[in-house]
Amino acid sequence: MEKKQLANPPRAHPPRSLHAVIFMLVAASWLIFFQLPSLSPTSFYTKSSHPTNNAPKCPQVRPLFPSHKTPALDAIDSFLQSSDFRNKSIARLSGAVQIPTESFDDFGKVGEDPRWEVFFPFAKYLEETFPLIHATLQLEKINTHGLLYTWKGSDETLKSTLLMAHQDVVPVPEATAKEWTHPPFSGFYDGKYVWGRGASDCKNQLIAILEAVELLIQADFKPKRTLILSFGFDEEISGQDGAGHLAPYLLAKYGHNSMAVIVDEGAGTAQAWGVPFAMPGVAEKGYVDVDIVVRMPGGHSSIPPPHNGIGVASELITLIEADPYEPRLDDENPYLELLYCGAEHAPDFPPKLKGLLGKRSRKSWKKDELAVEASKAGPEIKYLMTTSVAVDIIAGGIKTNALPERTQVTINHRINVGSDSSVVFQKLTKLAATVAEKYNLTLHAFEGKEGPESITLTHRDTILEPAPVSPTKIAKAASPYSVLSGTTKALYGEELLVSPGIMTGNTDTKYYWDLSDHIFRYGPGWDKEQEGLGNIHTVDEKVGVHAHIDSVRWFWMFVRNMDEVEL
């Protein structure tokens, strides 16, 4: 469904994040470009930053703990592991889930559609739940419901740390509400999970960030590096009213590349080839919707032609589906580096893939044999390195005794890293030309016009090229990626591997590209006993409390670690 657009959008963006698809695909798809061999707040490296041919493809950093200690900070460290904090955290997350901040595809303008007003009580809940934050940080409300918190640091020469989450959740269809084990907005806690829409996408991350910052204030922490919290309110329906206003505001206020690091929601940790990988997303695939319109003469259904518009459109759809994109691993695709990491560290890594990795450097094949072989693991892996094509909408005809005069098809594409939208347009034009010639129809390919007896191709404004890849390469100095990796290992131990990953869909970070080169889509909570993704976007969404508490602990350390390093 086409979404409304900003009058002057900074970029074009896809209409939905489709987290249920995004994170299913992401969970298995993470990699390391390079990682640092050692980490400490003042000295990150013990080895040369210029790898030799024999250097590890997937060096790991050491755990990074904040070095600045005070009795108050130490007390909070202990408190974070207490049952008292656990109970309070459960109550805070449960309360957030109980406010049904649903965002709908057909929302009208902010301030006009009354359904937006549910975000007022949510903002009020945050104000009451986190009093120290609201007494200490500057809060600006952008486009009414966008929440922008700023904790000014003592050193204005340092770039800021920016943490993100979104307030909205996907709607719960009335027809499925009774299928939930616990009511979808109950925030029910069963001793292990908090249940409800938004529990894992992504009120858990929003509340974890605020809990960590509230505790930092309680411990009398004084940041050197400015900390910014940016919470949109319509991520599930494109983010144009939320992040689409927050990001330009920050860009105007602070300037290009003014953020040291940006962390938003994303996938977390999963088992691969016998070992656990934490997988912060360093890239996102692109996005484009293409509309195909077939115009053919109408008439009475009792005297049909051999082929009408619906039939011709169907023939074109069949051609498109019969000619899928081949898997291809671009050198910048993070999944390639996950393969290197698996080959180096994972005991169950397939020998054939390891052999193909060795051949890759010699570029000894016409077809990307490595990508083809890796894709055999299933579609959730294949589409990490393949442009996807999905026919999602078709409409034609209005009456049973009248031939359709206009048939429209909408095809969604998620564009592979290393490709771009022009490749999609060229391929569709070629296929449509074959059908147009067969049926003596005029082809209007991305010309912006539609005529009689024709096939017309147009793309919607919601177009996005693949995201810039955040740097993870080893260097002499500390980097945001090394801090993220070291913080993760400090929380979970050195046996956990950290590997950059690729997002097959899009998050609110698509609006923030100009603010930082270092963007990571990462959910740091990890519950070893919880399988799957917490049923995001479907019945029985829930989050493990153990994972949620670990998210709070991760942000508690990450903010301090970012404050101590020189970038």
Give the catalytic positions in this structure: 168, 235
- Residue 133 region, left (φ>0) first, then alpha (ψ -120 to 50), else beta? alpha
Q: Cα(475)–Cα(517) distance, rounded to whole angstroms? A: 15
Pair 533, 24: CB distance under 8 Å: yes
Contacts for 387 with CB less than 8 Å, ≥ 6 apart? 285, 325, 413, 414, 415, 416, 419, 423, 424
Q: Is 201 annotated as a binding residue?
A: yes
Q: Is 145 annotated as a binding residue?
A: no
**Taking Cα atoms as reference points, which of 199, 170, 66 lies closest to residue 543?**
199
Question: What distance lies between CA 454 and its chain's CA centroid?
Answer: 38
Pair 230, 250: CB distance under 8 Å: yes
Furthest-apart CA atoms within the chain: distance in Å:
88
Q: Is 113 annotated as a binding residue?
A: no
Q: Is 291 annotated as a binding residue?
A: no
Pair 98, 116: CB distance under 8 Å: no
Contacts for 247 with CB less than 8 Å, ≥ 6 apart? 10, 230, 511, 512, 514, 515
Q: Cα(143)–Cα(211) distance, rounded to whole angstroms? A: 25
**Taking Cα atoms as reference points, which of 242, 170, 244, 279 lies closest to residue 521?**
279
Strand 275-278 versus strand 259-264 pairing type: unpaired
Query: What does each C-alpha distance from 158 to 43, 154, 161, 344 come to in angstroms?
Result: 18, 9, 9, 36
What are residue 375's DSSP bridge partners? none
Q: Cα(350)–Cα(356) distance, rounded to whole angstroms? A: 10
Helix (H) or strand (E) holding 373, with range, is: helix 369-375
- Residue 196 region, left (φ>0) first, then alpha (ψ -120 to 50), else beta? left
**DSSP string over 214-242:** HHHHHTT---SS-EEEEEES-GGGTSTTT
Q: Cα(233)–Cα(169) distance, rounded to whole angstroms? A: 9
Q: 169: which DSSP letter?
A: B
Pair 292, 409: CB distance under 8 Å: yes
Q: Is 537 annotated as a binding residue?
A: yes
For the beta carbon of residue 275, count every other beta carbon within 10 angstroms: 16
Pair 275, 346: CB distance under 8 Å: yes
State the binding site for Zn(2+): 166, 201, 236, 264, 537
